[in-house]
């Protein structure tokens, strides 16, 4: 009886958080306080914050910001100027947008509106135990981490992903931040650095943000099914959408989509090839066992 009560309680919490998500999406241009959202959910502020983060994968404020940025992207494409778009999306000032741009929009509003022009992406490719890996980054963080068969193929993928940016191979003197990010990825692949906490400079929808944030919370050496991820972010019917979000990931390892498999235990898809996915999962499990 207690198990049934627990399941029913969890289901009600998930449904309530979904209702709050829909409310935030419909009122993203308005100021929404944690207190008002908690009151709408019928919970204390502390319990609401904790429940929302557990089920959705981000805090209510982060979800609200993501929705505003999503609206801003739409307004930037149709408004006559950037300032009008900023206020139409519900931001009180341009400075508020720029504070969030590097983690939510991936670039400043003006740059996004111009299709990424004036963004400089430095890149380098190097051999790893799983094949050639290219790392690309702006001055804000990583924007491209992908496996490929050749440097030329990866360079073409980078240009296709960011067609309006300026692409520049890494040169001397090497940027110390860039080198540190590359070395962290190398250590991760060798099992020396299980946890990656690297800055990202990518664009994402609110749904992708929720999925990718959750993927980064999956412990090293463990896996989750697409359905489990969907349920964890409060959208149990969105397993296929989760798989699609994984396929749109441009930051291999940093956003560990290789840790998501089918309910049956089969690997499912992986944009960089199933042999790599299997190798990554096996390596992480081996390292986790040896570290116990």
Domains and CATH numbers, the chain: 2-113 (1.10.10.60), 120-190 (3.30.160.70), 206-290 (1.10.10.10)
- pLDDT score for 1: 43
- pLDDT score for 126: 94
Spans of the chain below 70 pLDDT? 1-7, 57, 69-118
Are the C-beta atoms of 234 and 41 separated by less than 8 Å?
Answer: no
Active-site residue, 246 included? no
- pLDDT score for 72: 64
**Catalytic hit among 21, 143, 246, 257:** 257
Q: How far apart are CA 154 and CA 150, in angstroms?
A: 6
List the end-to-end C-alpha distance of the chain, in Å, as a whole number.
36
User: To which residue do tokens 């972010």 refer?
Assistant: 233
Positive or negative CA dihedral for 162, 144, 207, 51?
Answer: negative
Give 160's DSSP letter: H
- pLDDT score for 86: 47
Are the C-beta atoms of 216 and 279 separated by less than 8 Å?
Answer: no
Both tokens assigned to 22: 């829909």
Task: Report helix, strand and coil shares of the chain as percent, to nearest 5.
Answer: 55, 10, 35
User: To which residue do tokens 């066992």 refer?
Assistant: 289
Check: pTM over 0.75? Answer yes or no.
no
- pLDDT score for 204: 79
Strand partners of residue 225:
261
- pLDDT score for 153: 96
User: Which distant-in-sequence residues (6+ apart) come within 8 Å of 253 by Cβ?
Assistant: 145, 185, 188, 189, 196, 280
């Amino acid at each position: 009886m207690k198990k049934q009560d627990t399941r029913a309680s969890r289901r009600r919490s998930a449904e309530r958080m979904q209702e709050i998500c829909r409310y935030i999406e419909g009122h993203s241009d308005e100021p929404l306080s944690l207190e008002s959202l908690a009151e709408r959910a019928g919970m204390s502020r502390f319990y609401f914050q904790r429940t929302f983060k557990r089920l959705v994968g981000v805090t209510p404020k982060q979800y609200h910001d993501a929705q505003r940025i999503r609206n801003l992207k739409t307004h930037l494409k149709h408004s006559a100027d950037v300032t009008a778009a900023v206020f139409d999306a519900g931001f009180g000032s341009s400075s508020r947008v720029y504070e969030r741009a590097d983690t939510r929009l991936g670039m400043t509003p003006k740059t996004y509106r111009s299709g990424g022009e004036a963004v400089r992406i430095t890149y380098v490719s190097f051999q790893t135990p799983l094949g050639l890996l290219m790392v690309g980054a702006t001055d804000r963080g990583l924007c491209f981490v992908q496996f490929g068969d050749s440097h030329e193929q990866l360079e073409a993928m980078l240009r296709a992903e960011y067609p309006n940016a300026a692409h520049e191979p890494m040169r001397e003197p090497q940027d110390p931040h860039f080198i540190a990010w590359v070395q962290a990825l190398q250590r991760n692949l060798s099992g020396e650095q299980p946890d990656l906490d690297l800055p990202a400079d990518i664009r994402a929808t609110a749904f992708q943000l929720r999925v990718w944030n959750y993927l980064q919370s999956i412990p090293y050496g463990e896996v989750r099914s697409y359905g489990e991820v969907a349920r964890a972010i409060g959208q149990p019917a969105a397993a296929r959408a989760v798989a699609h979000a994984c396929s749109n990931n441009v930051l291999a390892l940093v956003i560990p989509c290789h840790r998501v498999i089918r309910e049956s235990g089969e690997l499912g898809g992986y944009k960089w090839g199933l042999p790599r996915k299997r190798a990554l999962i096996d390596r992480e499990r081996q390292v986790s066992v040896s570290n116990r």
